[in-house]
């Protein structure tokens, strides 16, 4: 009969950063293994459990015995199974014995086509297997494949040495209310588990039925067995304790803290107000990274001197817990304050010579050399945009200086952020100060872009220098490997160009970037490959924003050198595609493209249309309509009204259709043929000025 299956490994404390992944893999391994062996129903529900001291899974509607199976076994090809006289051969008898059917006769076998030849087959019913046997194999396979960060060897009480992520003390395996006779890591399965180390009533906890596991652990053992339930409990308690303040609770921190406790309880703590003189990013980072605490900010996002902790102990008098955590965090905050005060004694500019001692890449020089390249490139980009060149160069020169500070040495995550604080302390222009942090933007998908002209220019220069330099030495991304984050850099450049509507040529930007490497030994210009790589990132970005692949290709297939208007062109393509005339015009444009491609050698580039050779009414009508609309299309395009330009083309649908119905383009008369090709070439130019609409054709 079908029952809920429960399997649990009770262990020593598991590594918190790996807990969720271990729990999911344990549950999935057992569920998939049982499914492959036909023990699960279609509506079986798999529930993973993971706490600091256990991995478990519950699966509903699990069969006690797998169904009988009809198996069709290939025996031998007929040519081998029968001798020259058509009688059963010795190899056939040997094969049947090996398959476990020594008493079968040739009449019991099915003779059927097997590819180009014939073979004998035997169909039989294999009885189902018991759950315990199947699960024993599945359990062993699952444990062997768990994503264990580091395997630990330990000795069982019986003296045997076994390996697992942490020592395992109990194995629980229930099918309904029945214990399954399983063994693992020297343990025999039972129905007992343990609760919370301190809050449980003590001793073993008996689970009478698999369906009762989570409730028994919660009520008797003071353990929330679901990692997700603990996480949501922590979130709710944090929000309640925060009150009017905002609580900073990144998902990664919530996941890690939920993996450290079995019965989460949130308490409020405080630190001295004097620490608030330190940049709040430093305090927040040390609380989150070192202590796993949750910082609070007021309505203006300023750090408060109170913070929240998640404890594994519930008590009516938490003063010892609170006091202990306040004592622990104080030295961390003191260190941050000390680093900040020490760093301010030296200006960022005074640290620049030390960049010569920091290797950027052994084939691209030091950070000092890279800083000079980025400074030169930032100045060139600022000049193209009409921005303040001196601010751009100053921002680029100081952007990496905070790498040499004590604070960034202790907390690398603060690079850029501390540069802004120190630059302001040094009296630098605010755009120069902001460039220290903004030149890293966007750091990830959806991150904000630089807010200042100087930050924008330095961010472009920093990313372009990386793309060109790393690509030139042959370290471009391969497969999933991208150690220098070139995909992220390329996407960042494209986002800035598109979202900030920067009127910059990709070719010119890359030429400027290549130029700063002048004199570099064995430097090979990678501009063509880098441009294609950047446009490919743009394709992905635009598809994520909801544009279809055909729409994106209509705009990017022309290999645009500027991308500031690419969204406007795409929106125009969408509007054009919605018109009833678009299907016919897109198909016609595709046909024109193919005709011109096949005859590109026969048509001079400066070929003009001779009105006297427009002998067919349809071609004359098309030429007249083109001349009538040409100025409207050009005017709309020049003003950036891409939608208007494409919609104007729709007015030519009837004339274009009539031309292809009534006119033979490839006429025998060379003059007529070339004139018609010239007409199509002119039409092709009008139709594809905004985008290659042939890409919209199915």
Q: Give the tens place of pLDDT for each residue, 210-262.
A: 999 999 999 999 999 999 999 999 999 999 999 999 999 999 999 999 999 99
pLDDT tens sequence across 530-544? 999 999 999 999 999
pLDDT at residue 639 tops 70 = yes
pLDDT range class, residue 698, cuts 50, 70, 90: low
The pLDDT value given to residue 455: 98
Q: Are residues 172 and 57 in the same domain?
A: yes
Mean pLDDT is highest, among 78-87, 397-406, 590-599, 633-642, for: 397-406
Dig out the tokens for 274 from the structure. Answer: 């004097």
Q: Are residues 573 and 687 in the same domain?
A: yes
Q: Are residues 12 and 104 in the same domain?
A: no
The pLDDT value given to residue 604: 62
What gap in Å lies between CA 337 and CA 278, rounded to an integer?
Answer: 6
What gap in Å lies between CA 113 and CA 93, rounded to an integer?
Answer: 21
DSSP string, 433-475: HHHHHHTT---STTPPPPSSHHHHHHHHHHHHHHHHHHHHTT-
Q: What is the CATH number of the domain that holds 384?
A: 1.10.3210
What gap in Å lies between CA 604 and CA 662, rounded to an integer?
Answer: 25
Q: Are residues 293 and 235 in the same domain?
A: yes
For residue 611, give Cα distances in angstroms to 506, 616, 617, 633.
Answer: 40, 11, 12, 21
What gap in Å lies between CA 430 and CA 419, rounded to an integer?
Answer: 12
The pLDDT value given to residue 101: 86
Q: Quote the mean pLDDT of the chain.
A: 94
pLDDT tens sequence across 123-168? 988 888 999 999 999 999 999 999 999 999 999 888 889 999 999 9
Residue 238: inside a domain: yes
**% of the chain residues with pLDDT over 70:** 99
* HSE (side-chain half, CA atoms, 13 Å) at 123: 5
Picking from 403, 398, 421, the residue whose alpha carbon sits closest to that of residue 413 is: 403
Q: Are strands 192-194 and 204-206 parallel, antiparallel or unpaired?
A: antiparallel
The stretches of 500-581 forming alpha helices (DSSP H) are: 506-515, 527-544, 549-556, 566-577
Q: Are residues 388 and 499 in the same domain?
A: yes
The pLDDT value given to residue 325: 97
In the block, tokens 């003191």 appear at: 334
pLDDT tens sequence across 57-85? 999 999 999 999 888 989 999 999 999 88
Q: Are residues 386 and 310 in the same domain?
A: no
Q: Are residues 601 and 685 in the same domain?
A: yes
Q: Are residues 400 and 430 in the same domain?
A: yes
pLDDT at residue 605 tops 80 = no
Neighbour tally for 686: CB within 10 Å: 18
pLDDT tens sequence across 660-680? 999 999 999 989 998 999 999
CB 218 within 8 A of CB 225: yes
pLDDT range class, residue 282, cuts 50, 70, 90: very high
Specify the DSSP element, H or E, that contains 295.
Answer: strand 294-297
The pLDDT value given to residue 212: 97
CB 568 within 8 A of CB 678: no
Residue 241 — left, alpha, or beta (φ > 0 → left; ψ -120 to 50 → alpha)? alpha
The pLDDT value given to residue 89: 92
pLDDT tens sequence across 322-336? 999 999 999 999 999
Tally the domains of the chain.
5
The pLDDT value given to residue 606: 63
Picking from 589, 563, 557, the residue whose alpha carbon sits closest to that of residue 576 is: 589
Specify the DSSP element, H or E, that contains 307.
Answer: strand 303-311
pLDDT at residue 558 tops 90 = no
Q: Does the global pTM surpass 0.85?
A: no
Question: CB neighbours of 464 closer than 8 A, spacing ≥ 6?
Answer: 377, 493, 509, 510, 512, 513
Q: Are residues 667 and 577 in the same domain?
A: yes
CB 138 within 8 A of CB 37: yes
Residue 323: inside a domain: yes
Q: What is the DSSP letter of 341?
A: H
Kindly report the length of the chain.
Answer: 698
The pLDDT value given to residue 603: 67
Residue 557: inside a domain: no
pLDDT range class, residue 521, cuts 50, 70, 90: low
pLDDT at residue 374 tops 90 = yes
The pLDDT value given to residue 170: 96
CB 491 within 8 A of CB 360: no
Q: What is the CATH number of the domain that holds 576?
A: 1.10.730.10
Q: What is the mean pLDDT of residues 374-387?
A: 98
pLDDT range class, residue 394, cuts 50, 70, 90: very high
Burial of 607 (0-12, 13-18, 19+ CB in 10 A): middle
Residue 561: inside a domain: no
Neighbour tally for 346: CB within 10 Å: 15
Among residues 190, 221, 252, the one where a domain terminates is 221
Specify the DSSP element, H or E, that contains 232.
Answer: helix 227-242
Q: Are residues 353 and 446 in the same domain?
A: yes
pLDDT at residue 602 tops 80 = no
Picking from 341, 406, 357, 10, the residue whose alpha carbon sits closest to that of residue 191 is: 10
CB 247 within 8 A of CB 294: yes
pLDDT tens sequence across 451-493? 999 999 999 999 999 999 999 999 999 888 899 999 999 999 9
Residue 632: inside a domain: yes
In the block, tokens 């299907």 appear at: 583
The pLDDT value given to residue 618: 94
Among residues 221, 240, 270, the one where a domain terminates is 221
pLDDT tens sequence across 164-195? 999 999 999 999 999 999 999 999 999 999 99
Residue 52: inside a domain: yes
Specify the DSSP element, H or E, that contains 387.
Answer: none
Among residues 221, 239, 262, the one where a domain terminates is 221
Residue 554: inside a domain: no
Dig out the tokens for 264 from the structure. Answer: 């989460």
Q: Are residues 75 and 54 in the same domain?
A: no
Q: What are residue 7's DSSP bridge partners?
A: 57, 173
Q: Are residues 367 and 482 in the same domain?
A: yes
Residue 627: inside a domain: yes
Helices 417-425 and 319-343, interaxial angle, to 10°? Answer: 60
What is the domain extent for residue 134?
Answer: 3-66+130-221
pLDDT at residue 202 tops 80 = no
pLDDT tens sequence across 561-576? 999 999 999 999 999 9
């Amino acid at each position: 009969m079908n029952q809920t299956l429960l399997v649990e490994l009770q262990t020593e404390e598991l590594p918190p950063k790996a807990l969720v992944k271990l729990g999911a893999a344990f549950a999935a391994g057992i569920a998939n293994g049982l499914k492959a062996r036909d023990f699960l129903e279609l509506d079986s529900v798999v529930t993973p459990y993971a706490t600091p001291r256990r991995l478990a899974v519950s699966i509903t509607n699990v069969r006690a015995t797998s169904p009988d199976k009809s198996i069709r076994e290939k025996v031998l090809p007929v040519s081998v199974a029968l001798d020259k006289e058509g009688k059963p051969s010795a190899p056939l008898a040997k094969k049947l014995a090996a398959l476990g059917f020594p008493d079968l006769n040739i009449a019991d076998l099915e003779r059927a086509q097997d590819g180009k030849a014939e073979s004998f087959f035997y169909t039989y019913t294999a009885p189902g297997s018991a759950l315990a046997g199947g699960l024993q194999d599945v359990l062993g396979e699952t444990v062997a494949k768990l994503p264990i960060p580091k395997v630990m060897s330990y000795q069982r009480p019986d003296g045997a040495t076994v390996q697992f992520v942490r020592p395992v003390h109990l194995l629980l395996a229930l099918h309904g209310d029945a214990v399954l006779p399983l063994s693992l890591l020297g343990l025999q399965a039972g129905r007992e588990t343990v609760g919370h180390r301190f809050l449980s009533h003590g001793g073993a906890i008996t689970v009478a039925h698999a369906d009762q596991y989570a409730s028994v652990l919660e009520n008797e053992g003071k353990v929330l067995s679901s990692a997700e339930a603990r996480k949501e409990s922590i979130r709710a308690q944090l929000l309640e304790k925060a009150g009017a303040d905002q609580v900073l609770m990144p998902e990664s921190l919530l996941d890690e803290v939920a993996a450290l406790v079995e019965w989460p309880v949130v308490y409020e703590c405080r630190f001295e107000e004097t620490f608030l003189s330190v940049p709040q990013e430093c305090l927040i980072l040390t609380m989150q990274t070192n202590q796993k605490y949750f910082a609070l900010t007021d309505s203006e996002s300023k750090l408060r001197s109170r913070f929240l902790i998640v404890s594994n102990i519930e008590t009516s008098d938490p003063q010892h817990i609170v006091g202990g955590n306040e004592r622990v965090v104080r030295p961390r905050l003191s260190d941050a304050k000390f680093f900040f005060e020490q760093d301010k004694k030296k200006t960022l500019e005074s640290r620049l010579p030390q960049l010569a001692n920091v290797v950027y890449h052994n084939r691209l020089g030091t950070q000092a050399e890279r800083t000079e390249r980025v400074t030169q490139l930032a100045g060139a980009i600022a000049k193209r945009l009409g921005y303040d060149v001196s601010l751009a160069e100053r921002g680029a020169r100081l952007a990496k200086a905070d790498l040499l500070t004590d604070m960034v040495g202790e907390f690398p995550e603060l690079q850029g952020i501390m540069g802004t604080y120190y630059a302001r302390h040094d009296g630098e222009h605010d755009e120069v100060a902001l460039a220290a942090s903004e030149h890293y933007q966007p750091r990830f998908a959806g991150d904000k872009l630089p807010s200042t002209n100087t930050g924008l220019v330095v961010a472009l220069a920093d990313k372009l220098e990386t793309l060109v330099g790393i690509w030139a030495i042959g370290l471009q991304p391969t497969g999933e490997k991208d150690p220098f984050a070139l995909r992220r850099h390329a996407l960042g450049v494209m986002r800035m160009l598109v979202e900030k509507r920067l009127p910059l040529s990709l070719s010119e930007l890359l030429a400027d970037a290549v130029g700063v490497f002048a004199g570099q030994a064995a430097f090979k210009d990678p501009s063509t490959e880098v441009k294609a790589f950047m446009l490919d990132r743009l394709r992905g970005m635009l598809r994520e924003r909801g544009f279809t692949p055909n729409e994106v290709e209509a705009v990017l297939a022309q290999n645009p050198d500027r991308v500031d208007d690419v969204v406007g062109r795409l929106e125009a393509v969408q509007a054009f595609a919605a018109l009833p005339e678009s299907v016919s015009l897109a198909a016609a444009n595709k046909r024109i493209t193919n005709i011109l491609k096949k005859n590109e050698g026969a048509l001079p580039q400066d070929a003009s249309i001779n009105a006297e050779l427009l002998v067919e009414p349809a071609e004359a009508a098309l030429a007249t309509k083109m001349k009538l609309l040409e100025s409207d299309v050009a005017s709309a395009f020049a003003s950036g009204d891409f939608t208007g330009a494409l919609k104007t083309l729709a007015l030519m649908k009837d004339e274009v259709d009539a031309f292809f119905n009534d006119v033979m383009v490839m006429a025998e008369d060379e003059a007529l043929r070339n004139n018609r090709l010239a007409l199509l070439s002119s039409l092709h130019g009008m139709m594809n000025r905004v985008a290659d609409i042939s890409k919209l054709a199915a």
